[in-house]
Amino acid sequence: MCVTCGCGDPTAVRVTVPGAEHSHEHGTEHSHEHGAEHSHEHDHPHQAAPVSRTIAIEQELLAKNDSLAESNRDWLAEHRIVAINLMSSPGSGKTTLLERTIRETGSTRTVCVIEGDQETLFDAERIRATGASVIQVNTGAGCHLDADMMRRGMASLDPPDGALLLVENVGNLVCPALFDLGESGKVVVISVTEGDDKPLKYPHMFAAADLIVINKIDLLPYVDFDIERCQRDARTLNPGVEVLPLSVKSGQGMQDWYEWLNKL
């Protein structure tokens, strides 16, 4: 979490409109506002921080984040906006899933995107090429989006009432599961090239999911991935979770994905 993962520099967070000339630098507005509490005891480099204080800081961070997330949730509900938090390891196909979703559903529903990455505008530029409104949130050393980054992204994006807001979190199967953004649903994307053991290796992520997307099933003949095992393991952690195998490349299963989105 934030006391150990290196995401304690609020000035490193940038919210950028792709194609614009500058970033919106918010500095200390970053919700963590760690201040001296996040110093990692630099004045005493050889002295371990008390475990009880570490736990207290983590609890304070999560409590503040949860309060901000509720404010986000209220705002989204007021404007009838469905927000989906997509989480995965890097390379699972989240951005490609978003691109195809926008191109195939954008004519019937406004789709907006918040992109989360430590650095670069690469993914935001890909989304911009589809014609959708997009904001890039760069987290610097941070390994996840949080509710304040979500709030700032929404303020810059200004999605219209009734829109579908797709949030691509930082590629990471650990920290994003712990931070509520105020979203309507959490989706974990896993590709068959990653291996079928991920639910038990990263239980918090899969336990938090409302939907698990198993992507790149067109590659099943070429990899060692047992879909039934992955589903079984995921449901030992999260009995009610839906599991949707699909291939963004071939289109197999994409209609089921759109139907799941339309239910929200």
Give per-residue pLDDT as tens, 165-191: 999 999 999 999 999 999 999 999 999
Assigned domain for 35 exists = no
Show the DSSP H helices in 117-253 as ranges. 122-128, 147-157, 198-201, 203-208, 227-237
* Mean pLDDT of successive 10-residue stretches along the chain, which has 264 residues: 57 84 47 41 50 64 92 98 98 98 95 97 97 97 96 97 98 95 98 98 98 98 98 97 98 98 94
Assigned domain for 43 exists = no
Assigned domain for 229 exists = yes
Assigned domain for 173 exists = yes
* Closest among 138, 115, 144, 117 to 1, alpha carbons compared: 144
Give per-residue pLDDT as tens, 23-69: 554 443 444 343 434 444 444 445 555 555 556 666 777 889 999 99
Q: Which domain holds residue 242?
A: 12-18+48-263
Assigned domain for 127 exists = yes
Q: How many domains does the chain have?
A: 1
Pairing of strands 133-138, 164-168: unpaired
Q: What is the pLDDT of residue 33?
A: 43
Assigned domain for 121 exists = yes
Q: What is the pLDDT of residue 41?
A: 44
Kindly list the distances between the CA atom of residue 101 and the CA atoms of 64, 122, 132, 150, in Å, as whole numbers in the listed order.
33, 18, 11, 21
> In 10 A of CB 34, how many CB atoms?
19
**Domain of residue 148, CATH code:** 3.40.50.300
Assigned domain for 154 exists = yes
Assigned domain for 6 exists = no
Tokens of 257: 């994905």
> In 10 A of CB 5, how many CB atoms?
14
Do the Cβ atoms of 79 and 73 come closer than 8 Å?
A: no
How far is the C-alpha of 183 from the C-alpha of 174, rounded, in Å? 18
Which residue is associated with the tokens 């050889």? 46
Strand-pair partners of 95: none
Tokens of 229: 């095992």
How far is the C-alpha of 219 from the C-alpha of 194, rounded, in Å? 11
